[in-house]
Protein backbone atom coordinates (compact mmCIF):
# COMPACT_ATOMS: atom_id res chain seq x y z
CA UNK A 1 0.00 0.00 0.00
CA UNK A 2 1.71 3.18 -1.18
CA UNK A 3 -0.24 5.44 1.13
CA UNK A 4 -1.22 3.70 4.39
CA UNK A 5 -3.82 5.37 6.59
CA UNK A 6 -4.15 8.25 4.14
CA UNK A 7 -6.93 9.97 6.04
CA UNK A 8 -4.96 9.95 9.26
CA UNK A 9 -1.79 11.31 7.70
CA UNK A 10 -3.28 14.01 5.49
CA UNK A 11 -5.30 15.55 8.29
CA UNK A 12 -7.86 17.52 6.26
CA UNK A 13 -10.11 17.52 9.33
CA UNK A 14 -8.87 20.95 10.36
CA UNK A 15 -9.18 22.51 6.92
CA UNK A 16 -12.77 23.69 7.19
CA UNK A 17 -14.58 25.78 4.60
CA UNK A 18 -13.38 29.36 4.37
CA UNK A 19 -15.52 32.01 2.71
CA UNK A 20 -13.43 35.16 3.15
CA UNK A 21 -10.32 35.98 1.08
CA UNK A 22 -7.14 34.38 2.42
CA UNK A 23 -5.55 37.68 3.44
CA UNK A 24 -8.62 39.42 4.88
CA UNK A 25 -7.56 41.38 7.92
CA UNK A 26 -9.39 41.04 11.21
CA UNK A 27 -9.83 43.97 13.56
CA UNK A 28 -8.16 43.69 16.96
CA UNK A 29 -9.95 45.21 19.92
CA UNK A 30 -7.10 47.41 21.07
CA UNK A 31 -9.07 48.87 23.97
CA UNK A 32 -8.18 45.76 25.92
CA UNK A 33 -4.87 45.90 27.74
CA UNK A 34 -4.20 42.16 27.42
CA UNK A 35 -4.56 40.00 24.34
CA UNK A 36 -4.69 36.22 24.13
CA UNK A 37 -3.81 34.38 20.92
CA UNK A 38 -4.37 30.78 19.93
CA UNK A 39 -2.29 29.42 17.03
CA UNK A 40 -4.47 26.70 15.52
CA UNK A 41 -3.09 24.06 13.17
CA UNK A 42 -2.89 20.36 12.52
CA UNK A 43 0.18 18.12 12.72
CA UNK A 44 3.12 18.73 10.36
CA UNK A 45 1.93 22.07 8.98
CA UNK A 46 4.86 24.16 10.22
CA UNK A 47 3.11 25.21 13.41
CA UNK A 48 6.24 24.86 15.54
CA UNK A 49 7.95 27.45 13.35
CA UNK A 50 4.93 29.75 13.53
CA UNK A 51 4.90 29.38 17.31
CA UNK A 52 8.60 30.18 17.54
CA UNK A 53 7.96 33.59 16.00
CA UNK A 54 5.88 34.36 19.09
CA UNK A 55 8.13 32.50 21.54
CA UNK A 56 10.94 34.85 20.52
CA UNK A 57 9.00 38.08 20.96
CA UNK A 58 9.91 39.75 24.29
CA UNK A 59 6.31 40.92 24.87
CA UNK A 60 4.86 37.40 24.57
CA UNK A 61 4.28 34.67 27.13
CA UNK A 62 4.21 31.53 25.00
CA UNK A 63 3.10 27.96 25.66
CA UNK A 64 3.88 25.14 23.23
CA UNK A 65 1.27 22.37 23.00
CA UNK A 66 0.08 22.43 26.64
CA UNK A 67 -3.00 20.36 25.75
CA UNK A 68 -0.61 17.50 24.99
CA UNK A 69 -0.94 16.67 28.69
CA UNK A 70 -4.65 15.89 28.28
CA UNK A 71 -4.13 13.56 25.34
CA UNK A 72 -1.38 11.70 27.17
CA UNK A 73 -3.26 11.40 30.46
CA UNK A 74 -6.52 10.25 28.86
CA UNK A 75 -5.01 8.03 26.17
CA UNK A 76 -6.50 6.17 24.32
CA UNK A 77 -9.59 8.37 24.57
CA UNK A 78 -10.91 9.38 21.17
CA UNK A 79 -9.99 12.87 20.03
CA UNK A 80 -13.55 14.19 19.75
CA UNK A 81 -14.41 13.34 23.36
CA UNK A 82 -11.41 15.34 24.62
CA UNK A 83 -12.44 18.62 23.02
CA UNK A 84 -14.29 20.03 26.04
CA UNK A 85 -11.34 19.33 28.32
CA UNK A 86 -8.97 20.92 25.79
CA UNK A 87 -11.08 24.09 25.71
CA UNK A 88 -11.29 24.28 29.51
CA UNK A 89 -7.55 23.87 29.89
CA UNK A 90 -6.90 26.58 27.32
CA UNK A 91 -9.31 28.91 29.10
CA UNK A 92 -7.42 28.47 32.37
CA UNK A 93 -3.92 28.74 30.89
CA UNK A 94 -4.71 31.89 28.94
CA UNK A 95 -5.70 33.46 32.27
CA UNK A 96 -2.34 32.38 33.74
CA UNK A 97 -3.93 29.69 35.92
CA UNK A 98 -1.62 26.69 35.65
CA UNK A 99 -3.21 24.65 38.43
CA UNK A 100 -5.25 22.88 35.72
CA UNK A 101 -2.07 21.02 34.74
CA UNK A 102 -2.17 19.12 38.02
CA UNK A 103 -5.25 17.27 36.76
CA UNK A 104 -3.28 15.65 33.97
CA UNK A 105 0.31 15.28 35.15
CA UNK A 106 -0.43 12.85 37.99
CA UNK A 107 1.21 15.04 40.62
CA UNK A 108 0.34 17.98 42.82
CA UNK A 109 3.96 19.08 43.11
CA UNK A 110 4.72 20.01 39.55
CA UNK A 111 7.31 22.53 38.43
CA UNK A 112 8.28 24.33 35.24
CA UNK A 113 10.04 21.15 34.09
CA UNK A 114 6.66 19.38 34.07
CA UNK A 115 5.39 21.54 31.20
CA UNK A 116 5.57 20.01 27.75
CA UNK A 117 8.22 21.78 25.66
CA UNK A 118 9.73 23.66 28.59
CA UNK A 119 13.33 23.27 27.36
CA UNK A 120 12.52 25.50 24.38
CA UNK A 121 10.41 28.05 26.24
CA UNK A 122 11.96 31.52 26.14
CA UNK A 123 10.23 32.71 29.33
CA UNK A 124 11.15 29.65 31.40
CA UNK A 125 14.73 29.70 30.15
CA UNK A 126 15.33 33.45 30.48
CA UNK A 127 15.74 35.96 33.29
CA UNK A 128 14.23 36.24 35.84
CA UNK A 129 13.16 32.56 35.75
CA UNK A 130 16.64 31.44 34.68
CA UNK A 131 19.96 33.14 33.94
CA UNK A 132 20.63 31.11 30.77
CA UNK A 133 19.11 33.69 28.41
CA UNK A 134 18.00 37.31 28.35
CA UNK A 135 14.37 37.75 27.36
CA UNK A 136 14.97 40.64 24.97
CA UNK A 137 17.65 38.81 22.98
CA UNK A 138 16.36 36.91 19.95
CA UNK A 139 17.69 33.40 19.30
CA UNK A 140 16.72 29.73 19.57
CA UNK A 141 16.85 28.18 23.04
CA UNK A 142 19.16 25.17 23.28
CA UNK A 143 17.84 22.10 25.11
CA UNK A 144 21.05 21.34 26.96
CA UNK A 145 21.43 24.94 28.17
CA UNK A 146 17.85 25.33 29.35
CA UNK A 147 17.94 21.86 30.89
CA UNK A 148 20.31 23.24 33.53
CA UNK A 149 17.83 25.91 34.62
CA UNK A 150 16.46 25.55 38.15
CA UNK A 151 12.99 24.05 38.41
CA UNK A 152 10.53 26.68 39.60
CA UNK A 153 7.14 26.30 41.23
CA UNK A 154 4.22 26.95 38.89
CA UNK A 155 3.12 29.85 41.10
CA UNK A 156 6.28 31.65 40.03
CA UNK A 157 5.47 30.98 36.40
CA UNK A 158 1.93 32.26 36.93
CA UNK A 159 3.28 35.50 38.35
CA UNK A 160 5.59 35.85 35.36
CA UNK A 161 2.72 35.13 32.96
CA UNK A 162 0.66 37.94 34.45
CA UNK A 163 3.38 40.45 33.60
CA UNK A 164 2.94 39.92 29.87
CA UNK A 165 0.37 41.79 27.79
CA UNK A 166 0.18 39.04 25.14
CA UNK A 167 -0.29 35.35 25.97
CA UNK A 168 0.02 32.88 23.09
CA UNK A 169 -0.78 29.16 22.96
CA UNK A 170 0.13 26.96 20.01
CA UNK A 171 -1.83 23.75 19.61
CA UNK A 172 -2.88 21.00 17.20
CA UNK A 173 -5.45 19.31 19.44
CA UNK A 174 -8.51 21.45 18.81
CA UNK A 175 -10.21 19.61 15.95
CA UNK A 176 -13.17 21.95 15.52
CA UNK A 177 -12.69 25.67 16.06
CA UNK A 178 -16.37 25.91 16.92
CA UNK A 179 -15.41 24.45 20.31
CA UNK A 180 -13.63 27.74 21.06
CA UNK A 181 -16.52 30.06 20.19
CA UNK A 182 -17.48 30.55 23.89
CA UNK A 183 -13.93 31.78 24.54
CA UNK A 184 -14.00 34.03 21.48
CA UNK A 185 -17.22 35.61 22.73
CA UNK A 186 -15.69 36.41 26.14
CA UNK A 187 -14.80 40.14 26.06
CA UNK A 188 -12.50 39.77 29.06
CA UNK A 189 -10.44 37.04 27.43
CA UNK A 190 -10.13 38.96 24.14
CA UNK A 191 -9.09 35.81 22.26
CA UNK A 192 -7.56 36.12 18.79
CA UNK A 193 -7.19 33.02 16.59
CA UNK A 194 -4.58 32.51 13.89
CA UNK A 195 -5.22 29.39 11.80
CA UNK A 196 -2.32 27.90 9.85
CA UNK A 197 -2.79 25.89 6.67
CA UNK A 198 -0.36 23.98 4.48
CA UNK A 199 -0.53 22.13 1.19
CA UNK A 200 -2.07 18.72 2.10
CA UNK A 201 0.49 16.94 -0.10
CA UNK A 202 3.32 18.45 1.93
CA UNK A 203 1.51 17.53 5.15
CA UNK A 204 1.12 13.93 3.98
CA UNK A 205 4.77 13.72 3.00
CA UNK A 206 5.89 15.09 6.35
CA UNK A 207 3.63 12.75 8.31
CA UNK A 208 4.92 9.72 6.48
CA UNK A 209 8.42 10.74 7.60
CA UNK A 210 7.39 11.20 11.22
CA UNK A 211 4.61 8.61 11.56
CA UNK A 212 6.36 6.75 14.39
CA UNK A 213 6.31 9.92 16.47
CA UNK A 214 2.57 10.35 15.93
CA UNK A 215 1.29 6.84 16.64
CA UNK A 216 -0.78 7.77 19.70
CA UNK A 217 -2.31 10.81 18.03
CA UNK A 218 -3.20 8.78 14.94
CA UNK A 219 -4.98 6.18 17.07
CA UNK A 220 -6.97 8.86 18.90
CA UNK A 221 -8.01 10.55 15.66
CA UNK A 222 -8.96 7.26 14.01
CA UNK A 223 -11.08 6.28 17.03
CA UNK A 224 -13.11 9.43 16.43
CA UNK A 225 -13.43 8.67 12.74
CA UNK A 226 -15.11 5.35 13.41
CA UNK A 227 -18.16 7.37 14.44
CA UNK A 228 -18.90 8.57 10.92
CA UNK A 229 -21.56 11.19 11.57
CA UNK A 230 -19.68 12.55 14.56
CA UNK A 231 -16.53 12.86 12.49
CA UNK A 232 -18.37 14.66 9.70
CA UNK A 233 -19.20 17.38 12.18
CA UNK A 234 -15.48 17.79 12.81
CA UNK A 235 -14.96 18.27 9.10
CA UNK A 236 -17.79 20.70 8.48
CA UNK A 237 -19.66 22.02 11.55
CA UNK A 238 -23.36 22.05 10.75
CA UNK A 239 -24.17 25.23 12.71
CA UNK A 240 -22.54 28.10 10.83
CA UNK A 241 -23.56 30.57 13.56
CA UNK A 242 -20.99 28.95 15.83
CA UNK A 243 -18.18 28.83 13.29
CA UNK A 244 -15.11 30.56 14.69
CA UNK A 245 -14.13 31.71 11.20
CA UNK A 246 -17.15 34.01 11.18
CA UNK A 247 -15.69 36.13 13.96
CA UNK A 248 -13.57 39.20 13.29
CA UNK A 249 -10.88 38.13 15.77
CA UNK A 250 -9.74 35.42 13.36
CA UNK A 251 -7.22 35.31 10.50
CA UNK A 252 -5.71 32.51 8.46
CA UNK A 253 -2.28 32.06 6.95
CA UNK A 254 -0.70 29.56 4.61
CA UNK A 255 2.65 28.07 5.53
CA UNK A 256 3.86 28.67 2.00
CA UNK A 257 3.16 32.40 2.24
CA UNK A 258 4.83 32.57 5.64
CA UNK A 259 8.13 31.07 4.49
CA UNK A 260 8.24 32.64 1.02
CA UNK A 261 7.30 36.13 2.24
CA UNK A 262 8.42 36.04 5.87
CA UNK A 263 8.83 39.78 6.47
CA UNK A 264 5.36 40.67 5.16
CA UNK A 265 3.62 37.81 6.95
CA UNK A 266 5.42 38.45 10.23
CA UNK A 267 4.26 42.05 10.13
CA UNK A 268 0.68 40.91 9.48
CA UNK A 269 0.76 38.36 12.31
CA UNK A 270 2.21 40.82 14.79
CA UNK A 271 -0.20 43.58 13.79
CA UNK A 272 -3.13 41.22 14.37
CA UNK A 273 -1.70 40.33 17.80
CA UNK A 274 -1.03 43.98 18.73
CA UNK A 275 2.73 43.40 18.68
CA UNK A 276 5.48 45.43 17.07
CA UNK A 277 8.21 43.86 15.01
CA UNK A 278 11.82 45.00 15.28
CA UNK A 279 15.07 44.44 13.36
CA UNK A 280 16.26 41.43 15.36
CA UNK A 281 12.99 39.59 14.69
CA UNK A 282 13.09 40.49 11.01
CA UNK A 283 16.60 39.07 10.81
CA UNK A 284 15.53 35.96 12.74
CA UNK A 285 12.62 35.12 10.42
CA UNK A 286 14.78 35.68 7.34
CA UNK A 287 17.53 33.42 8.69
CA UNK A 288 15.03 30.69 9.61
CA UNK A 289 13.61 30.60 6.08
CA UNK A 290 16.88 30.91 4.16
CA UNK A 291 18.88 28.02 5.57
CA UNK A 292 20.33 25.00 3.80
CA UNK A 293 18.33 21.85 3.20
CA UNK A 294 15.09 20.62 4.68
CA UNK A 295 15.42 17.08 6.05
CA UNK A 296 15.92 16.40 9.73
CA UNK A 297 16.24 13.20 11.72
CA UNK A 298 14.19 14.90 14.44
CA UNK A 299 10.75 15.68 12.98
CA UNK A 300 9.85 18.32 15.57
CA UNK A 301 13.18 20.14 15.52
CA UNK A 302 12.98 23.88 14.85
CA UNK A 303 15.88 24.90 12.65
CA UNK A 304 16.90 27.16 9.78
CA UNK A 305 15.71 25.65 6.50
CA UNK A 306 15.51 26.33 2.82
CA UNK A 307 11.93 27.56 2.40
CA UNK A 308 11.49 26.45 -1.19
CA UNK A 309 12.82 22.98 -0.47
CA UNK A 310 10.45 22.70 2.50
CA UNK A 311 7.53 23.61 0.27
CA UNK A 312 8.40 21.46 -2.73
CA UNK A 313 9.93 18.37 -1.07
CA UNK A 314 6.73 16.36 -1.53
CA UNK A 315 7.21 16.40 -5.31
CA UNK A 316 10.39 14.37 -4.99
CA UNK A 317 9.25 12.05 -2.21
CA UNK A 318 5.67 11.13 -3.06
CA UNK A 319 4.89 8.94 -6.04
CA UNK A 320 2.15 9.75 -8.54
CA UNK A 321 -0.35 7.43 -6.86
CA UNK A 322 0.19 9.03 -3.45
CA UNK A 323 -0.17 12.53 -4.88
CA UNK A 324 -3.40 11.56 -6.66
CA UNK A 325 -4.85 10.04 -3.51
CA UNK A 326 -4.18 13.18 -1.49
CA UNK A 327 -5.55 15.45 -4.21
CA UNK A 328 -8.74 13.41 -4.46
CA UNK A 329 -9.20 13.24 -0.70
CA UNK A 330 -8.56 16.97 -0.17
CA UNK A 331 -9.76 18.39 -3.49
CA UNK A 332 -12.26 20.83 -1.99
CA UNK A 333 -9.85 22.03 0.67
CA UNK A 334 -7.15 22.57 -1.94
CA UNK A 335 -9.54 24.52 -4.13
CA UNK A 336 -10.59 26.81 -1.28
CA UNK A 337 -7.01 27.48 -0.21
CA UNK A 338 -5.66 28.04 -3.72
CA UNK A 339 -3.51 24.91 -4.15
CA UNK A 340 -3.48 23.62 -7.72
CA UNK A 341 -3.42 19.96 -8.57
CA UNK A 342 -0.20 18.28 -9.66
CA UNK A 343 -0.96 18.52 -13.38
CA UNK A 344 -1.89 22.21 -13.19
CA UNK A 345 1.45 23.84 -12.46
CA UNK A 346 5.01 23.95 -13.68
CA UNK A 347 8.23 23.91 -11.69
CA UNK A 348 8.10 27.58 -10.73
CA UNK A 349 4.74 28.31 -9.18
CA UNK A 350 4.61 25.61 -6.49
CA UNK A 351 0.98 24.71 -7.18
CA UNK A 352 -0.21 27.94 -5.60
| DSSP summary character for residue 306 | B
* 82 exposure class (CB count in 10 Å sphere: 0-12, 13-18, 19+): buried
Among 126, 52, 62, 120, CA closest to 287: 52
In the predicted model, is pLDDT for residue 192 greater than 70? yes
Q: How far is CA 261 from CA 302, 331, 342, in A?
A: 18, 25, 23
Query: Could you give the percent of the chain with pLDDT greater than 90?
Result: 43
Per-residue pLDDT of 112-163, as tens digits, reads 998 878 999 999 999 999 999 999 999 999 999 999 999 999 999 999 999 9
Domains (range + CATH), the chain: 6-11+32-339 (3.40.50.300)
Q: What is the DSSP string of 108-152?
A: SS-BGGGSTTGGG-TTTTBTTT-SSB-TTS-SPPPHHHHTTSPP-
**What backbone torsions phi and psi does residue 55 show, to the nearest 5 degrees?**
-55, -35
Q: Beta 191-197 vs 60-64: how paired, if at all?
A: unpaired
Q: What pLDDT, on the 0 to 100 scale, is given for residue 23?
A: 41
Per-residue pLDDT of 218-257, as tens digits, reads 445 545 554 444 433 433 333 444 566 667 799 999 999 9
**Stretch 314-318: mean pLDDT, rounded?**
87
Q: What pLDDT, on the 0 to 100 scale, is given for residue 21?
A: 39
- As a residue count, the chain comes to 352
In the predicted model, is pLDDT for residue 188 greater than 50? yes
Amino acid sequence: DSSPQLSSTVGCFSLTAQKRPLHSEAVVNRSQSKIHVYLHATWRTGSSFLGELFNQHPDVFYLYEPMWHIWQALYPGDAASLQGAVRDMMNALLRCDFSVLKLYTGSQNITTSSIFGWRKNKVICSEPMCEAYKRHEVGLVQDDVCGKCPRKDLKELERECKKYRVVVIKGVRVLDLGVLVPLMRDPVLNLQIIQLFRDPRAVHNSRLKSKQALVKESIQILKSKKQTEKYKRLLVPSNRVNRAENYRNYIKIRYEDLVLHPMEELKRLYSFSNLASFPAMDKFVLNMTHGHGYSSDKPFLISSRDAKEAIFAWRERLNIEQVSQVENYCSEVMRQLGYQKNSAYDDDDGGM
